[in-house]
Amino acid sequence: MSVGSGLPYVGLWLKSQAMTDLEVGFILACPSFAMVATTLLIGRFADRAKDWRSSIILCNWTIVLLVGVLIFASGFVQILIIWTLWGLVIMAKFPILDAAAVRMSRHRNIEFHKIRAFGSIGFVVGTLLAGPFFEWAGIESFTLLIFALAVLRAIASHALPFFRHGMQQSKHSGSGDEYGKNNSSGHPSLSTGDNTKKLWFLLVLTGSALLNASHAFYYTFSTIVWTDDGFSKTTISLLWSVGVVCEIVLMWKFAAIQKNYSARVLLIAAAIAAFIRWLCFGFEPGLAMLFGLQLLHGVTFALMFLATVNFIANWTPVEVSARAQALSATMNTFLMASATVFSGFVYGAIQLKGYWVMAALCLLAVLMISFSWRLAVKK
């Protein structure tokens, strides 16, 4: 809910603070650049902690403190510093959450993607509530809403279980291959273990990160563009929400999908869908077509996210689980940050045609993931 209430409207809030397009892109990118230098360390700390639960709770209360300070911040420098620190903590927490949730769901024989779907449900609820709220209270109330939701999240985190209690430390983290529990596709499986330094493994993570980064222009400037086009905040909330609803549906049905297709096939499919989505966005589509294109978000984000998380969990042992997820998150955030800063330049220069630059990233992702197969077969 906190992310859903904030992400679609942070650009508008920064604009209300008299920030330029370039400053908007720079502020939103800085937490990601900071995360590159620290997330692997945080992942190692979380792996060595008695339980992931304590790390999550600590991150949540730190976020509350920083958002509280952000309420009183003003000017580019103050907002930049506090936003960077807050964003650093919240993004560093995500790979710990993913590692904890994936391991616990497998230990308890629960489908992780259905648990993750509740995060998307919260995003939709937050987005749908935020639009009318900002219509009524004004975008200036942005930080107050985010603070209230951060407090609720921190309190709720104390109800989390002890994730590692009762878990068996095994050599293999998942099914033993990336093609589903029964390897029904008939493809040969690769050996498991700590593959985080192998080129074929890193190519998949890089391709996934490029696909994720292709969303940067959309996340940063879509609400600003739609506001300039005369759409109300309620309509914009609906545009964001319809994509996440499709994300929820795909997450709920992911078990049936992953039985028949490998993680890399799913990543390539997501990249092709994203290429089509951003290509069409660049032609300034009308409202009806925008709603149709937003349906692809379930593929361009949810399919990418779930395929990547499962790919990592299948190919890394539990001892380095949080660190492996943190490696992926670091690659994701570095490329997302770079794409976000670049989006500030691109939007000022070519406006909506910036989506076509994002489409090019998707094609590059397809090439990298495809090439990883050639390396894996040779091995």
In a domain, residue 166? The reply is: no
Is residue 216 in a domain? Answer: yes
Tally of domains within the chain: 1
Is the residue at 179 inside a domain?
yes
Q: What is the CATH number for 362?
A: 1.20.1250.20
Q: Is 18 exposed, middle or buried (0-12, 13-18, 19+ CB in 10 A)?
A: exposed
Predicted TM-score (pTM) of this structure: 0.71
- The parent domain of residue 31 ranges over 2-161+172-378
> CA–CA separation, 252 vs 113, rounded Å?
6
Phi, psi of 239 (to 5 degrees): -65, -45
- The type of residue at 101 is A
pLDDT per residue rounded down to tens, the chain (379 residues): 888 888 888 988 998 998 888 888 889 888 878 877 776 566 566 556 667 788 889 999 999 999 999 999 989 999 999 999 988 888 778 777 877 887 788 788 888 777 878 888 888 899 889 989 998 999 999 999 999 999 999 999 999 888 766 554 443 444 333 333 433 333 334 445 567 677 888 899 999 999 999 999 999 889 888 988 889 988 999 999 998 888 888 888 887 888 888 888 999 999 999 999 999 999 988 899 999 999 999 899 989 988 998 888 777 776 666 677 778 878 887 898 889 888 888 887 788 888 999 999 999 999 999 988 777 655 5
Cα dist from 208 to 90, 145, 173, whole Å: 20, 32, 21
> Do 215 and 358 form a contact (C-beta atoms < 8 A)?
yes
Query: The tokens of 360 are what?
Result: 């090019």
The verdict on residue 153 lying in a domain is: yes
Residue pair 302/250 in contact (Cβ under 8 Å)? The answer is yes
Q: Is residue 83 part of a domain?
A: yes
